[in-house]
């Protein structure tokens, strides 16, 4: 399902009649579209709209396409919009491996095949052998990497990043940026990044839309 560009066709989001942002943009495969704006500018609502979990308080118009398929008519669970928040939000009641298994689509059958994928994904983020661990015993950086591995395993059509680096310290932040963007490129995913950090935008290297100014 990857390898499809993301098309935001005249998307406009408003709160109480006030337009927060209006975007029309094609995000190519491997490209990162950065949406910049101060906190409270409503930039995160764009990701919520794409993902299908926009709060009812907001009103939105416009369509979102993945390749030729319109996402906006689909329920959230069929949009396959992988998202990373500023917190890793690993499911605390599952092991690390459990978190990853949960993400693998049901189309991949067989215990062996599924756990092989888990192993592979963990190796891919440098956490080989961590499958049986309690997520809460991981460091902040490790958690972020598990979260990345988890979203990638779910075979998403795109990657939505909601300030995913803002809670990491400076060194980890740049490592994490490189890892995420590299993975998005190799997985051939279009990426939408929402941030208020100029360094994020620079690292992303793609087009930048500024809102709320």
Q: Give the Cα separation of 122 and 129 in Å (integer).
A: 7
Interface with other proteins (CB under 8 A), residue total: 36
Candidate ranges 3-11, 12-20, 31-39, 49-57; the one touching other proteins (CB under 8 A): 49-57
Q: Does 102 bind other proteins (CB under 8 A)?
A: yes
Which of 156, 164, 180, 183 forms a contact with other proteins (CB under 8 A)? 156
Candidate ranges 27-35, 79-87, 120-128, 171-179; the one touching other proteins (CB under 8 A): 79-87
Which of 17, 18, 57, 110 forms a contact with other proteins (CB under 8 A)? 57
Nearest to 51 by CA among 163, 158, 147, 153: 158
Q: Does 177 bind other proteins (CB under 8 A)?
A: no
Q: CA distances (Å), 78 to each of 37, 55, 70, 86, 105, in order?
A: 29, 18, 11, 23, 12
Residues facing residue 15 across a β-bridge: 18, 58
Which of 27, 151, 193, 203 forms a contact with other proteins (CB under 8 A)? 151
Which of 33, 160, 184, 211 forms a contact with other proteins (CB under 8 A)? 160
Candidate ranges 15-23, 62-70, 118-126, 152-160; the one touching other proteins (CB under 8 A): 152-160
Q: Give the Cα separation of 108 and 28 in Å (integer).
A: 27
Helix (H) or strand (E) holding 58: strand 58-66
55/171 with CB nearer other proteins: 55
Coil, helix or strand at residue 173: helix
| Pairing mode of beta strands 58-66, 69-70 | antiparallel
**Alpha-carbon torsion (187, 141, 89, 210), positive or negative:** negative
Judged by the rule CB under 8 A, the positions of this chain that interact with other proteins are: 48, 51-53, 55-57, 75-83, 85, 87, 89, 91-93, 95, 102-103, 105, 134-137, 150-151, 154-156, 160
């Amino acid at each position: 399902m990857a390898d499809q560009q993301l098309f935001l066709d005249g998307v406009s989001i408003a709160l109480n009649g006030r337009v927060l942002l209006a975007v029309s943009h094609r995000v190519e495969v491997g490209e990162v579209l950065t949406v910049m704006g101060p906190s409270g500018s409503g930039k995160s609502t764009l990701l919520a709209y794409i993902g299908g979990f926009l709060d009812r308080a907001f009103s939105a118009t416009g369509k979102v396409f993945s390749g030729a398929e319109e996402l906006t008519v689909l329920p959230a669970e069929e949009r396959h919009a992988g998202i990373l928040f500023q917190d890793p939000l690993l499911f605390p009641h599952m092991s690390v491996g459990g978190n990853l298994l949960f993400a693998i689509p049901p189309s991949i059958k067989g215990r062996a095949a599924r756990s092989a994928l888990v192993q592979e994904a963990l190796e891919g983020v440098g956490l080989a052998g961590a499958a049986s661990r309690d997520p809460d015993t991981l460091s902040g950086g490790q958690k972020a990497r598990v979260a990345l591995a988890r979203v990638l395993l779910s075979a998403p059509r795109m990657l939505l990043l909601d300030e995913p680096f803002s809670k990491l310290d400076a060194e980890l932040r740049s490592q994490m940026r490189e890892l995420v963007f590299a993975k998005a490129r190799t997985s051939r995913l279009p990426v939408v990044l929402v941030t208020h950090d100029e360094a994020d935008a620079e690292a992303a290297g793609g087009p930048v839309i500024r809102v709320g100014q």
